[in-house]
Structure 1
Amino acid sequence: MTINHQNLPDLPLEAWEESKMTLHLYLQIIGKIRLKLTPRKNHWWYITFYVSSKGLTTGSIPYERGVFEITFNFLKHQLEMSSSEGKEVAIPLHDGLSVAEFYQQIQDGLTQLGIQVAIVDRPFYIPDVDKPFEQLEEQKAYNAEYIERFWRLLIWVDDVFKEFSGRFYGKSCPVHLYWHHMDLAVTRFSGKEGPDLDPDMRLSDKDAYSHEAISFGFWAGDDTVREPAFYSYTHPSPDGIDQQPLQPASAQWVDSNGSPQAFLTYENLRKEENPRQALLDFMESAYQAGAKLADWNVEKLTVPPLNDL
């Protein structure tokens, strides 16, 4: 399957929800390995996955004798681990491979690579899933067709997000996939510190929201939002942002944990004559709404054209 602006795939959550949960848990296991071994970087940028020509990858992870990389290869449907010492391990991904079995095979594979790492071996913030990975026998669905469809859509979204990100002159994160919510995201920062945060807020959220930010993302749906969608939010959220115009016409402001969030369903995007431009317009309109009301220096943070190249 190839993806272009006229051929965005159907991705109904109900068709692969169990497989999505299994994949989400697989990603958390590998993400926690990267978290444990990678030097810290602000806003949790050091724990994420990147869209690649094969699937999703951690990029290089350091260990005592060099670096290694872990890749979900959705062309061959296997998990690949390779080290700078030339060692390689491949684990087939298939329907019936439980999270518990996957976790054990990962441990065995790391041992073959000569890598020792201990992680917090429980899922992070996944409702109704609160057992150690080694006990998760029920989560074992793997619909290869829909998982590959999801990845190929991520390739398209990743490309659009990168084009949008390149228009900004300020601090911005890579386009990457966070494994806690399984969303592809990119965030812009004004350069100013955010307001004091609730002392009872989780440490993970405090690090994410230490500075003013406008974030954009895509996720495939969950137990609350029952369809794939794009979002944007401004932190801290300025008064009146939900009265600002959004593009395209089908985009809207919705409530998200007490704050306005710009929201565009994937199905509505697919109906647009030019979905790529519509997605760029959505992100730009959400950015302008937040940046202007929060008094960002929009003009200074806009990349000028490079007409002399």
Structure 2
Amino acid sequence: MDKRFLNYPDWQDTADTLHLFLQMAGKVKVERGYKRPEWGHVRMYLTIQGIGTGIIPAQDRNFEIYFNLVHHHVDVQDSLGNRTRIPLGDGLSVADFHGQLMGALDYIGTPTPINPVPQEFHDPTPFDQDTEHHSYDRAAVELFLANLHFAHRSLTGFLAPMRGKTDMPAFWFGTMDLSGIVYSGQPAPYSGSDMIGRNAFDEKLCEFGFWPGDTKIPVPSFYALPYPFLASIGSYGTLLAPEKAHFLTPESEFLFSLEDAFAAPDPQQAVGEFFRSTFTILQRLDRWDDLDWITEPLTYRK
């Protein structure tokens, strides 16, 4: 297994450019998709060679936007056989990509204007005006994809046995993370006023995921984020594993770095241990109704 990785500052220019490219595709899906609870309609999907929107409905057809991060191009195609391709490479600015993507959607007959302002991103420059982000390091992108594949295996191994309502790993374009969610089925109204939180949080849940780092936390890390948010974990911190995992009080979030996972004798096992320990702590603090049923694996009988 490839245990290489990049901290966010080591490839920030490329990471930010790719992030903004993916945001545009995600926003197209937001505009066209049928609305689902907990922003389920905005999820994008990891594949062997990249990240895609999945099927997006249009008037008389379906279409998709697919980022091939091995051969480094974006395919925009519909169910009627129309297709066009955008090459990815160093020097392609966010503004240029925005123009090409909008043109590609026009070409296949699915024109979709989007809100050009980035979401959950440190630079608010509209896509069509952003000429500063234009870096594309192929090796860094391919390494990011390899890290996502490891994260997908680790997340799937942990989430798959859950019997209750569970979203399996998918890519969120807002924060550039890959995550899955376990739901309790218990209502928990959100007290905030922001649009994202108001539509994301309406029942007790715990999100488990991986993201490549950002301007605030520069190391790629696995995380667990319970909702309702935890103010502290008190004495239950002794249950947190592996040893280098920790709880960030201001963010109400558990973290375990990719570097520490790769340093373990069995990295995937270490990530699974992290997820299990965080879920155990959550249930000690606020046990869900029907927990035994939610966590009891479904038995497939012969």
Fold shared, TM-score > 0.5 on shorter chain: yes
Find 2:88's aligned residue among 93, 112, 126: 93
Answering whether residue 270 of structure 2 is matched by residue 270 of structure 1, we say no
Aligned mates of 1:135, 1:304 — CA distance in 2: 50
The aligned counterpart of 1:179 is: 173
Alpha-carbon distance, 1:12 to partner: 2.4
The aligned counterpart of 2:292 is: 299
Paired residue secondary structure (1:270): helix
Paired residue secondary structure (1:187): strand
The aligned counterpart of 1:70 is: 65
Moved over 4 A (4+): none
Aligned mates of 1:218, 1:69 — CA distance in 2: 24
The aligned counterpart of 1:149 is: 143
> Contact (CA 8 Å) 1:184, 1:218: kept in 2 or not?
yes
Summarize deviations over 1:148-203 as a string: whole Å, max 9, x none: 110111112112211211121111113111111111111111100114513xx212
Q: Which amino acid aligns with 1:191?
A: G
Answering whether residue 110 of structure 2 is matched by residue 115 of structure 1, we say yes
Relative to structure 1, the CA distance from residue 96 to residue 238 in structure 2 (aligned partners, 3 Å threshold; closer, same or farther) is closer
Q: Which has the larger displacement, 296-305 or 263-272? A: 296-305
Alpha-carbon distance, 1:301 to partner: 1.0
> Contact (CA 8 Å) 1:195, 1:236: kept in 2 or not?
no
Alpha-carbon distance, 1:11 to partner: 1.7
Alpha-carbon distance, 1:214 to partner: 0.9
Relative to structure 1, the CA distance from residue 170 to residue 65 in structure 2 (aligned partners, 3 Å threshold; closer, same or farther) is same
The Cα RMSD (Å) is 1.5
The aligned counterpart of 1:21 is: 16
Answering whether residue 97 of structure 2 is matched by residue 105 of structure 1, we say no
The aligned counterpart of 2:198 is: 206
> Contact (CA 8 Å) 2:8, 2:220: kept in 1 or not?
yes
Aligned mates of 1:52, 1:248 — CA distance in 2: 29
Alpha-carbon distance, 1:234 to partner: 1.4
> Contact (CA 8 Å) 2:177, 2:212: kept in 1 or not?
yes
Aligned mates of 1:183, 1:276 — CA distance in 2: 18
Aligned mates of 1:79, 1:240 — CA distance in 2: 43
Relative to structure 1, the CA distance from residue 178 to residue 161 in structure 2 (aligned partners, 3 Å threshold; closer, same or farther) is same
Summarize deviations over 1:69-100 as a string: whole Å, max 9, x none: 11100111001111100111110000000000
Q: Give the helix-richer structure, 1 or 2.
A: 2
Q: Which amino acid aligns with 2:211?
A: W
Aligned mates of 1:239, 1:134 — CA distance in 2: 40
Paired residue secondary structure (1:79): strand
Q: Which has the larger displacement, 30-39 or 158-167? A: 158-167
The aligned counterpart of 1:167 is: 161
Unaligned runs of 5+ in 1: none
Summarize deviations over 1:46-84 as a string: whole Å, max 9, x none: 112111022001110010121111110011100111110
Alpha-carbon distance, 1:305 to partner: 5.5
The aligned counterpart of 1:47 is: 42
Find 1:217's aligned residue among 187, 209, 212: 209
Q: Which amino acid aligns with 2:176?
A: M
Paired residue secondary structure (2:42): coil
TM-score (norm 2): 0.95
Overall identity of the aligned pairs, in %: 28
> Contact (CA 8 Å) 2:76, 2:83: kept in 1 or not?
yes
Paired residue secondary structure (1:221): coil
The aligned counterpart of 2:131 is: 137
Relative to structure 1, the CA distance from residue 133 to residue 237 in structure 2 (aligned partners, 3 Å threshold; closer, same or farther) is closer
Aligned mates of 1:173, 1:305 — CA distance in 2: 16
Count of residues in correspondence between the two structures: 299
Unaligned runs of 5+ in 2: none
Aligned mates of 1:111, 1:242 — CA distance in 2: 55
The aligned counterpart of 1:230 is: 222
The aligned counterpart of 2:186 is: 192
Paired residue secondary structure (1:269): helix
> Contact (CA 8 Å) 2:75, 2:85: kept in 1 or not?
yes
Paired residue secondary structure (1:46): helix
